[in-house]
Amino acid sequence: MERTGYILTIILAAVLSSASAAVNFTAIGIVLKQDLSALHCFLQTDWSSSTNPCDWDGFDCDNNLGVISMVLSGCSAAGQLPSSWPTTIPGLSKLDMSSNMLTGELPQSWSAFLSLTSLSLQGNQNLGGPLPTTWSALTGLSALQLSNCSLSGSLPAQWNSMQALSALGLDNNLLSGPLPASWASLPLKQISVEGNEWLCGTASPAWLSSLSPSVNVQGTQLGQPCYSLPSWVKALLSAKANEFKTSTALDSWQPATPACEGSWEFLSCDSYGLPLSIKLEGADLVTGQLPTSLSQLTSLTAMSFFNNLISSTLPACWSALTNLKLLSTRQNIFSGSLPQEWSTLSALTLLDLSINQLSGTVPQTWTSLASLHTLYLDSNFKIGGTVPASLSPTLVELQLMGNSFTGSLPDTWSSLNQLTLLAAHDNRLTGTLPISWSSMANLQALFLGFNILTSSIPPQWSSIHTLTTCQLSGNPLMCGALPQGWSMEGSPVSADNTDIGNPDIPCPESGSSSSSSTNNSSDTSGLAASPTTGALPSAVVAAILEGAWPSTVMPEGWGISAAGTDYCLWKGITCDESTALPTSIYLKGQPLAGPLPVYWSALTSLTKLHLSAATGLTGSLPPAWSALTSMQDIWLDGAPLMTGVLPQAWSTMVHLTSLTLDSLQLVGDIPQQFSVLQALEDLSLNYNQLFGTLPDSISSMTALTSLDLGANMFTGALPISYSSLSHLNQLLLYSLGSLAVQTLPPQWSVLSNLQILDISEGNLQGSVPASYAAGMSNLRELDLQGNTQMCGTLPSWPKTQPSVNLGGNVQQLPPCSASSTSSSSSSSTLPSPLAALTSSNIPSHSPSGGESGSSISPGAITGAVLGSILGALLLGASSWWCLRNRQHVTEGPSMRDSGSNSWTTSLNPAVHNGRMPHSQSGADNVIAEFAGGGNGSHSLGGALPGHGLTVVTRHPGRGSSAGGVPKSYQDNTSI
């Protein structure tokens, strides 16, 4: 009996030990899932089905179920390395995360990986920062590979304590300085520092020569003396290594090359060997940030970064550059405010900060810029407030257009008697033209159009004899006679959409209550915005609305003469009951013509704008509408005469939930700045001429439920990053024949809410990833027609098989040949992903926050206990059941619907975007609607096959260059 009890005790202890290990290991597996999911690292194994890392590809465990090896090379990991891993997996001996997209710096905390023997992070080009001195604690490390990163700084002398290190790879980084003498004690058998052009030193350690041929120092300055560089040269080299991101533009900036002898491109020096100018101008030569270290180059007189993709704020510390005469950051992506500290730049004559995303007001301290001749702040769209009353009296050219300035034009500007150009159009300026400006004796060009100015041109302005251009168009409340000697034919005045110069409509006197004006309010007094609420008076709003289009195309039910100034009663306008300001304009299908009214930017109360199917609209999308920061929904689809680009300035509309711009003639790319539109749920840009790569920045629009970019000219690959759009139920990327030949990204399998996926005519090859069946559990439609290089068996969905359109009556893809398999495997798309990895099966972090993966909830531990006990009991039974019932598993409903004269899988069912239904039984007279965002009805070109089918379309028929029914539909004999 004692023997039996002893045996039972041993068995019970083993079970409890196993259960305890399983509990801890399950919790560890959950944390690793969270960390790797945050890094977008996708493995071949369907790891959503297991919390045991020992079951995952690339993971090895020891007998105690501890993770000892992680090989995650090429798993598309992006982001910073988790500093918590030494605590989560302390027994790790091998880690390989090479060839990924990691960023940030090497974690100091990894010095606690005391069991680590092999570490490879090579091939992460954005992994930077210094080599951590704390890693000297990794005394068991034998192989360290950090090549092809962006590591900088010196080689740590403290690493001489790594007495197990035999192989070290540091190729192609930004390391500098000599090889530490202390490294002579290291048991190195091979070392490579190739391509670190700033490594130097004449004292070649004896151990270095003893390693030959297992040493590689090509492309370094080892063997040459390390001379002391001037501080300003170090500052430029630091800028190149850290803030500036460029491919080859700054390759000539080398520490061993004299900076001031003409060999450093974009830099010029004076006769004393000091830097005079930096001119990095060109087509996107540089990205990244403006280096604060340039404040050390106090001898600089000129800096220009025109036409790049620099996205930082303007460094306040550049106030130290007191010799600077010219500074241009024109046409970048700068944000933030104008530094008031720059008031110290007293030598500055030209300051050009135009075409960026700067905001705030013009600092009052800038009045001290006593030498300033030229100031360009135009096209930032978010610089606002009242225009500064005082500016440098030396100004010759001033450009403020395309911003959000309010208030009246200052009388004090009359002192700017050297001014020749003043451009302040496309703002929200109010009030009258100052009489005092008649003293601007040198003024040649004045642009004040598209504001909310009132009254007439002062007659005193007849004394400005130098004026050749006076643009006042788009101020619908302006009126009155021209100054003496001016005429509409020969005068400098441009005054479209005003009543200036109209003898039949004189300006009312101040306070007058009546007027016969057809284009203006009857009351021009008190037209400034309310000082307490900022709201415009109703007379101004009415004039802004009515002045949008000529009377010949005035929307039905609009007009002061027809309906009075109570615009809230005009057809299609909805107002806020408390403020009486317009919140919505609905003019779908109205016969509008001409460009969109720029000065609607003053109607900042607008939240919805519906101008769909206004086929007479022309021109481009107004950047000035960036002032409409309350806007939620914009529908401008179906205006085929509209052209231009997507204004990057619209990134200010951060409350947008729907943006529909289908069937225009837009060109260019989708601005990266749109990534801030994180409230956007519906983005539809189909049937334009947009080009460039499909932007990764869309992955930041995490609220998206519908994305339609079809029928454009995009190139490159399908972005893996779209896997982060977890709310997406429609992804429509059809008719993108310019995309690269590629496979469907397996990472998209995590889009568990996706219902419609349309990649027809998208240059796809290979098979549909098997993980789509488990991950895309709600998929109802999969359109792959026109992808002639696709092959393989379609996955079998566990619940309901989605309808699959392969074109015509095709029911399945051809088998993949050896060549097609090879082609597929060599594409840039990575192997299968984390299938169905959603928030529902990963425990959330502790409410207290903390670093990703650093906390484990009690629920995870409880679940692990239950899973350990129940899993052992049910394993055998569940395995038997699966084998017993395998023959009864079906593949879901047929891909082809039944019914006479019915649409089958070659047409998509009508859902949110209105596609043809799959089945219309008894369909001799079917009415099918092709919807594309509400463009109104247009005729569909081309004849439909079959008989008795009436089609209404709201976007051109895709697959047909003439806008007809795609040829694949004509092959469907069931129509």
* Mean local confidence (pLDDT), 873-890: 37
Q: Which tens digit of pLDDT belongs to each residue from 563-586? A: 455 778 777 888 888 888 889 998
Over residues 196-216, mean pLDDT:
72
pLDDT at 562 over 90: no
Q: What is d(CA 617, CA 593) in angstroms, rounded to the nearest whole number?
A: 5
Contact 753, 779 (CB under 8 A): no
Q: What's the N-to-C CA distance of the chain in angstroms? A: 82
d(CA 333, CA 356): 5
- Note if the bond before 130 is cis, omega within 30 degrees: no
Lowest mean pLDDT among 82-96, 219-233, 760-774, 862-876: 862-876
CA distance 718 to 713: 13
Q: Which residue has the tokens 């932007």?
A: 695
- CB atoms near residue 780 (< 10 Å): 18
Identical topology for domains 400-503 and 542-805: yes
CATH of 542-805, one of 3.30.420.40, 3.40.50.300, 3.80.10.10, 3.40.50.1820: 3.80.10.10
Q: Tell me what pLDDT residue 206 has.
A: 64
CA neighbours closer than 13 Å in the CB half-sphere of residue 670: 24
Task: Give residue 740's pLDDT.
Answer: 87
**The domain 23-222 belongs to what CATH superfamily?**
Ribonuclease Inhibitor (3.80.10.10)
Q: Is 901 exposed, middle or buried (0-12, 13-18, 19+ CB in 10 A)?
A: middle
Cβ(354)–Cβ(334) below 8 Å: no
Amino acid (one-letter) located at 1:
M
Q: What is the 3-state secondary structure (H, E, C) of 890-922?
A: CCCCCCCCCCCCCCCCCCCCCCCCCCCCCCCCC
pLDDT in tens, 954-972: 333 333 333 333 333 333 3
CATH of the structural domain 400-503, one choice from 3.80.10.10, 3.40.190.10, 3.40.640.10, 3.30.360.10: 3.80.10.10
Q: How many angstroms separate the CA atoms of 108 and 218, rounded?
A: 29
**Confidence tier at 548 by pLDDT (50, 70, 90):** low
Residue pLDDT, tens place only, 779-804 = 999 999 999 899 998 888 888 889 99
What contacts 444, CB < 8 A, 6 or more positions away?
420, 421, 466, 467, 468, 469
* Per-residue pLDDT at 4 exceeds 90: no
- Report for 189-193, 640-644, 728-732, 882-886: range of highest mean pLDDT: 728-732
Residue 436 has pLDDT above 80, yes or no: yes
Beta bridge partners of 716: 739
Region 938-959: mean pLDDT is: 33
Q: What is the mean pLDDT of residues 376-398?
A: 91
Tell me, what DSSP letter sits at residue 619? B
In percent, the amount of the chain with pLDDT more than 70 equals 72
Distance CA 382, CA 356 (A): 9
851: nearest Cα among 24, 33, 34: 34
What residue type is assigned to position 725 of the chain? L
The predicted pLDDT at position 547 comes to 60
Amino acid of residue 228: S
Helix intervals (H) in 306-456: none
Domain parsing of the chain, residue ranges: 23-222, 400-503, 542-805
What confidence score (pLDDT) does residue 211 get?
67
172-197: average pLDDT: 87
Please determine, for residue 894, whether its predicted confidence score (pLDDT) is greater than 70.
no
Cα(503)–Cα(480) distance, integer angstroms? 8
Question: Do 673 and 696 contact (CB within 8 A), yes or no?
Answer: no
Average pLDDT over residues 208-229: 76
The lowest-confidence range among 157-161, 661-665, 861-865, 941-945 is: 941-945
Distance, CA of 20 to CA of 237 (rounded, Å)? 54
347, 518, 731, 767 from 770: Cα distances, Å = 66, 67, 19, 8
Distances, alpha carbon 743 to alpha carbons 114, 714, 903, in Å: 41, 16, 28
Selected residue with higher pLDDT from 220 and 905: 220
Q: Write b or e for each residue in 51-75: b if 16 or more Cβ atoms lie within 10 A of its Cβ, otherwise e.
A: bbbeebebbebeeebbbbbbbbeeb
Q: Which of 750, 708, 753 is nearest to 727 (CA)?
A: 753
Q: In the sheet where 582-586 sits, what is the strand order? A: 573-575, 582-586, 608-610, 633-635, 658-660, 682-684, 706-708, 730-732, 756-758, 781-783, 803-805
C-alpha to C-alpha distances, 250 to 134, 253, 264, 880, nearest whole angstrom:
32, 6, 8, 66
pLDDT classification of 346: cutoffs 50, 70, 90: very high
Q: If you average pLDDT over every residue of the chain, what do you get?
A: 76
| Residues in Cβ contact with 305 at an 8 Å cutoff, skipping those fewer than 6 apart | 280, 281, 286, 290, 328, 329, 332
pLDDT of residue 23: 39
Q: Does 319 score more than 90 pLDDT?
A: yes
Q: Is 282 helix (H, G, I), strand (E, B) or coil?
A: coil
Which pLDDT does position 45 carry in this prediction? 52
Q: Does the pLDDT at position 216 exceed 80?
A: yes
Beta bridge partners of 309: 287
φ/ψ of residue 103, rounded to 5: -130, -175
- The DSSP code for 13 is H
Of 657, 614, 651, the residue nearest 633 (C-alpha): 657
Mean pLDDT of 628-642: 90
Decide: 389 and 416 in contact? Cβ < 8 Å.
no
Largest CA distance in the chain: 125
